[in-house]
Amino acid sequence: GAVVSQHPSWVICKSGTSVKIECRSLDFQATTMFWYRQFPKQSLMLMATSNEGSKATYEQGVEKDKFLINHASLTLSTLTVTSAHPEDSSFYICSATGTDDQPQHFGDGTRLSIL
Amino acid sequence: GNSVTQMEGPVTLSEEAFLTINCTYTATGYPSLFWYVQYPGEGLQLLLKATKADDKGSNKGFEATYRKETTSFHLEKGSVQVSDSAVYFCALSDHGYNKLIFGAGTRLAVHP
């Protein structure tokens, strides 16, 4: 089946640094990738949708300059949390799909802890 | 706006017990409804779906019926196994599989 790999699975860093999370589709071409954020005991919240070769579409309330998304190829999207602060600590999950009529395939998530 | 509410967990059952996880939704229009499952250490996987009223989605012994009159999509399984232990997410979408809106998730623990 379709596999999405997310890396790293866990990262701890100091406040003020930038952190990059990678999301790769291993065996299919992902025309669309999604980034979610999940707080403890809460829903996955869609942050943004990215299509290969174009700018990401951010959901209302998500800071574009804070969460930089790049989808430069059909197999890779990256989320960079810039100048991270403790309130950015969360679980970030990506998903990918080849076409709109196919289910999203999810990565295992990245736990980000900002000290 | 659209939203999904599902029962809080954890739900703890003995093997072979009957499972129900409640899910209700609020939506304008006629969304598609989904159940996703997340096994320990893995990403979310689509378990089943229903795209219109009275549709029944089923997979791996699980089933859920799209009830428009009660705006519900409750997940059921007649006899759970230890291997069903996971977190279950109810979700909806107005755009096929895109723009999913998830519930908070319900953790299921099945004991031998």
Question: DSSP letters along B81-104, please?
Answer: -GGG-EEEEEEEESBTTBS-EE--
CB contact under 8 A, B43 and A101: no
CB nearest A42 (choices: B41, B49, B104):
B104
| pLDDT on residue A2 | 78
Spatial CB neighbours of A9, under 8 Å, sequence gap ≥ 6: A108, A109, A110, A111
Residues B91-105 have pLDDT tens digits of 999 877 778 899 999
Residue A16 dihedral angles phi and psi, to the nearest 5°: 100, -15
| pLDDT on residue A52 | 84
CB contact under 8 A, A44 and B89: yes
CB nearest B102 (choices: A6, A44, A100):
A44
**H or E element, residue A24:** strand A19-25
What is the pLDDT tens value at each position of chain A, 115 positions in all? 778 999 999 999 999 999 999 999 998 999 899 999 988 777 889 999 998 888 899 999 999 999 999 988 999 999 999 999 999 999 999 999 988 778 889 999 999 999 9
| pLDDT on residue B42 | 83
**B69 CA: distance to closest CA in chain A (Å):** 25
| pLDDT on residue A22 | 97
The nearest alpha carbon in chain B to A110 belongs to B43
| pLDDT on residue A41 | 74
| pLDDT on residue B87 | 94
| pLDDT on residue B47 | 96
A-B CB pairs within 8 A amount to 55
| pLDDT on residue A98 | 86
The nearest alpha carbon in chain B to A43 belongs to B104
Residues B35-88 have pLDDT tens digits of 999 998 788 899 999 999 999 999 999 999 999 999 999 999 999 999 999 999
Spatial CB neighbours of A31, under 8 Å, sequence gap ≥ 6: A51, A52, A74, A97, A98, A99
B105-108: long-range contacts, CB 8 A cutoff, minimum separation 24: B105/A41, B105/A43, B105/B6, B105/B9, B105/B38, B106/B6, B106/B7, B106/B8, B106/B9, B106/B10, B106/B11, B106/B21, B107/B9, B107/B10, B107/B11, B108/B9, B108/B10, B108/B11, B108/B12, B108/B13, B108/B19, B108/B21, B108/B80, B108/B84
Separation between Cα atoms, residue A31 and residue A29, nearest integer Å: 6
| Cβ atoms of residues B108 and B9 within 8 Å | yes
Residues A29-55 have pLDDT tens digits of 998 999 999 887 778 899 999 988 888
